[in-house]
Structures are given as C-alpha cells and as structure tokens.
A and B are shown apart, each in its own frame.
Chain A
Amino acid sequence: MKSLIIDSPKQLNLRQKYAHNIFRFLLALTWFYCLVPVLTFINWFLAYTFFEQNFILLEGYKEYQSSTTLAYLTVIAAMIIWIILWVNLKKVLDVKGVGKEHLAPVSIAEISGYFNIEQNKVAEYQKCKNTEVHFDQDGNITELKQR
C-alpha cells in the first residue's frame, strides 16, 4: 500500500526542479516584502519612545484612522452580526426533518420503473456479485448479465 502523503522531489525532472527553485527564490523575496510593514510595526512597539514619537506625537496613527479602515471594520462587524442573526433565524426556520419525514425509502418497484427494467430482474441483480450491463445509443440499459 502506498503512503498517504506523496512528496518525492526525486521524481521531479530537470525543468520542474529549476521551476521549483525559481519559485522558492521569488517566494522568499515576497515573504521579505510582506514582512517589512509587520517588522516596522513590531519595532514601534518594541522601541516605545520611537513609537510614541512616530505614532502619537507625529500623528502616525492617522495613517490607520482613515475612513477606508473604518469602512473595512464596519463591514466586517456587520458580517459578524449578520452571521449570528442568520444562523439563529435558520435554527427557527429549519425544524429538524420538516418536509421530508413522510417520505418512505424508494422501493425496488419505483427504481426499476424509473430505469424501465423488470422489478424481478433488478431484485435478482442486486444480489449478484459480478454483473455486466449493456446500453443502447441513448444510454438506456438494455441487458443485465451475470459474469
């Protein structure tokens, strides 16, 4: 039996190996690019005096106090409220099993009627371990055979 996770770089051909390494390099660059604002922010917190000067005295916080940021936060807060309301409303509306509880399981007669095959034959082939099925041009079953 094969293992569940397949991660075997040895199976990569030369072209795939080059592509893999180029992407790895680009990825490292992108990581660095993305980490710059985070590192800046962390530095502000670590060097409190510097943070105080930049963020409070020189009003750096205004960068984050824009109407756009507030709009983002408002929309995300609205989503949270909507989810909570909707889920609870659904609990009231979707009473367990309503609408389908009266349905009896489909019978062999109904299913064989749908496929236009004799009921006895369907019952017989439901017990068969190895079956061969033939079709016409339109995809209708024409013959069932035991193998």
Chain B
Amino acid sequence: MHIINSTLTYLHDFAFYYPFFMAYLWMLGAIYYRVMWENKQKRKIDDPPMLDLEPPVSILVPCHNEGANVLDTVDFLLNQEYSNFEVIAINDGSTDNTGELLDQLESKHEHLRVIHLASNQGKAMALKTATLLAKSEYLLCVDGDALLDKYATRWMIRHLVKRPNVGAVTGNPRIRNRTGILGKIQVGEFSAIIGLIKRAQRIYGRIFTASGVIVAFRKTALHEIGYWNNDMVTEDIDISWRLQLNHWQIFFEPNALCWILMPETLSGLFHQRVRWAQGGAETFFRHFNHLFQWRSRRMWLIMMEYLTSVVWSYTILIIVAIWIMQQFYNISDLVSVEGLLPGWAGTLLIFTGLFQFTLSVIIDSRFERNLHRNIFWMIWFPMSYWMINMFATVVGFPKAILKKQGQRATWISPDRGIHQ
C-alpha cells in the first residue's frame, strides 16, 4: 500500500513539475535565441537581408476545396518581394470551384502555374507531384488558406542558400481568426508556446515539426530522403524527423510570417490536436529503430521531450481518474491523490504561464503590436494547452498504434473558425 501511495506522490509531483520546468526551459531557450540571434540581426521585418543573386524559388500551394480562400492566398503569394519565383497551385481533386478559380488566375498571371490532379490524392502526393514539376531547387510550401507575408520568401531562402546542410526552414504562423474564445486563446498559444518552443528547440539543435503551413525545402534534401510519405496523417512531422535523421538541419525563421486560420469550435480544435498527436506517435513508431542508434543521438532530446509529454498525459489521466473515484467511493485506504483545484502549486503554474505570455509579448511585439490586448484571455492558455494536449495524446497515441500500416492519408477539411 505504501508503495502505491508513494508512487502516486511521485506521479503527482511529476504532473506538476513537468509543465512547470518545461515552461522555464522554453523561456530560457527563447531568451537566449532572441538575444544571441534575433537581436544581432538588427533588422526590421520589412528589411530582410538581400542575397547577391536571388536563386529561383517555386512556391507550392496544395489546395483541396479552397474556393473560399484561394484567391487571397494566391494574391498574397504573387505579391512576394522576391525577384525570381513561380507559384504552383495544385488542385487536388477539389469538388468545389477551386479548379475554375485557379484556371482564371493562371490565365491572368505570368508567374502562376496550375497542376490539376485528376483524382484526390492527399497533401503528400500533391506536394510530390508539384516538386517533380517545379523548376527550382528551392521550394516554399504554403497551405491553400494561408496568407504569406510579402517578405517571407526572402527571409527564408537565405538560410538555404548560405548553408548547404540546411534542408528546411520553417516560418512563423500567426493566427488570423480571433472572434471566438478559442481563437483568442490560440493567439497566445502560438506566441507563448509554439513561438517559444521553436526558438528553444533551435537551441537544442533539432526541431520537432517544420510546420507544414509555411516551410521552405531544398529539393536535393527531399530527394535524398525520398520525399513525403503518403501514409502519415501529419506529413510535416514525418518529413521533419526524416530530414534530421539524415543529418539535415531545420532552421526556424521568426521573421517569415504566415497568417493562418485555426479552428474556433471545441470539436474542431480537438480533432486537429488528436490528428497532431496521432501524427507525432506515428512518426515515433515509424522511426523507432533509427532513433536509438548512436548516429541519431542529436534527435534524443526531441525524442525525450516527446516521450515525457506522452507519459505526462497518461499520468494526468491516472490522477484525474483516481480523484474522480475518490469522490464516489471510499478508496483512501488503498490509494489517494491530493485535490485537483489549484493551491500554491497551481497558482505558481498560472503565474509561470502569465510570465511566459508576457515574455512572448515582448519577443513577438515586433510582429504584432497589439498582442498584449489578448492578455485578458491568456490566463486560460496554459490550462487549455496542457489539457487539450493531454486528451489529444490519450486519444491519438492508441490511434497511431492501431492504424493499419500503409493506409493512405487523405485530406481533412478542418474547421477554420469564423472568417467569412
């Protein structure tokens, strides 16, 4: 009995300490990144460093039923402040008017090319086809509902040009839709969690995901690893891990902004996060054998971070389950957990969350001046982030285990919030 209770005490401590110390690790990493790299550039976002010769870039936009968004997306892409680029829009078997809209645009714009896939093949195959037909060594992939900042291409491509071992560069996604509660909370999450994590992960030297919504690739790197896998629910996590396992570097470019739409309903958000959690687990299982080899040691920190987060999710599940049982049955002789309501430790966590947000506002204020206006909503983001991720991992992890091998991933039309 004593062993069970002392184990539970350890689990309870772990449940608290993990998010607490991870928050400080991300903050410290982000501060270091900001001071040592971002500040040293001394450049404004609209003043990216110029290359002596701008190499050709192919901007790939996979679209499936994007009739409502594709005009704006392509319009932003065609306005890139870059001298040498083509835009390739891929209509992946859309059943709405995406194809017709793209054909109309293609006839008007010299830099726009269109590829129609006769049948729906999924995002990975759409990107592979466009890569085959793209003229350039450098590819920039953007989602069909995202708006790319006009300086983003210049900010990202310079890393690929200057460093031959950089295989990909991920940009800085920013949330557009902030009408509902979930939209507002995600603004903080993308700044205070994702922005800080990416900076901190660059400090470790490896990145968990080069976000598929805005990422630049070197075609040679993609060819070396065999391009995107058709059967992964999150092709971006998989390709990020494979590039890094093959010793390609992935850089994060915070100045490359991309304005994105995110879910604003609880079910939409939950489905998206389950898909991300499943994708992370699928990637982990797919590369399990490689990950433990000595040559993959640079990935161990990322792997440990991932595995600890999975263990943490199940720990929380166990604690909550026991706490609920305690409310209905007298099991205190057998097992007992302390209350779930925030005491001193909870308050400390909430303050850590606010501190984290304040830091992200300071770091990100040059991208969005009015970011601090969301601070009223931000008190929820640590709780919502950790709780949603906990539930998503608990559901997504077994889904990855039970998934049939080789099953093709298909397009999922996500909830894109209130944006019409």
CB within 8 Å of B: which residues of A? Answer: 1-2, 4-9, 11-12, 16, 19-20, 23, 27, 30-31, 34, 37, 72, 75-76, 79-80, 83-84, 86-87, 90, 94, 96-101, 103-106, 110-112, 114-115, 117, 122, 125-135, 139, 141, 147
**How far apart are the CA atoms of A110 and B219 in the complex, in Å?**
11
The answer to whether B376 touches A6 (Cβ under 8 A) is no
Among candidates B106, B137, B248, residue contacting A106 with C-beta atoms closer than 8 Å: B137
With A34-B379, A83-B29 in contact, is A105–B220 under 8 Å at CB?
A: yes
B213 within 8 A of A: no
**How far apart are the CA atoms of A23 and B383 in the complex, in Å?**
14
The answer to whether B418 touches A126 (Cβ under 8 A) is no
**How far apart are the CA atoms of A132 and B179 in the complex, in Å?**
39
CB within 8 Å of A: which residues of B? Answer: 20-21, 24-25, 28-29, 32, 36, 72, 75, 103, 106, 112-119, 121, 125, 128-129, 131-135, 137, 147, 163-165, 167, 176-181, 203-205, 219-221, 223-224, 226-227, 230, 247-249, 259, 347, 350-351, 354, 376-377, 379-380, 408, 417-420
The answer to whether A27 touches B379 (Cβ under 8 A) is yes
**How far apart are the CA atoms of A122 and B354 in the complex, in Å?**
54
- For B174, the closest partner residue in chain A by CB is A4
Shortest C-beta distance, B417 to chain A (Å), equals 8
The answer to whether A129 touches B113 (Cβ under 8 A) is yes
With A12-B180, A101-B165, A126-B135 in contact, is A30–B114 under 8 Å at CB?
A: no
With A11-B179, A131-B116, A135-B117 in contact, is A4–B164 under 8 Å at CB?
A: no
The answer to whether B32 touches A87 (Cβ under 8 A) is yes
The answer to whether B181 touches A20 (Cβ under 8 A) is yes
Among candidates A6, A79, A97, residue contacting B28 with C-beta atoms closer than 8 Å: A79
> Given A4-B259, A7-B178, A101-B165, list of 6 further CB < 8 A pairs?
A20-B180, A34-B350, A105-B219, A126-B135, A135-B118, A139-B408
The answer to whether A83 touches B28 (Cβ under 8 A) is yes
Shortest C-beta distance, B110 to chain A (Å), equals 9
With A34-B354, A139-B408, A141-B129 in contact, is A80–B163 under 8 Å at CB?
A: no
The answer to whether A133 touches B165 (Cβ under 8 A) is no
Most buried by B among A72, A98, A104, A111: A111
Among candidates B133, B230, B247, residue contacting A126 with C-beta atoms closer than 8 Å: B133
The answer to whether A133 touches B116 (Cβ under 8 A) is yes
With A34-B347, A34-B379, A79-B25 in contact, is A6–B177 under 8 Å at CB?
A: yes
Among candidates A75, A122, A129, A139, residue contacting B132 with C-beta atoms closer than 8 Å: A122
Shortest C-beta distance, A75 to chain B (Å), equals 6
- For A4, the closest partner residue in chain B by CB is B259
**Could you pull out 7 A-B pairs where Cβ atoms are within 8 angstroms?**
A5-B176, A6-B419, A27-B379, A34-B351, A103-B164, A129-B114, A134-B118
Chain A residues within 8 Å of B129, by CB: 133, 141
Chain A residues within 8 Å of B176, by CB: 4-6
With A133-B116, A135-B118 in contact, is A115–B379 under 8 Å at CB?
A: no
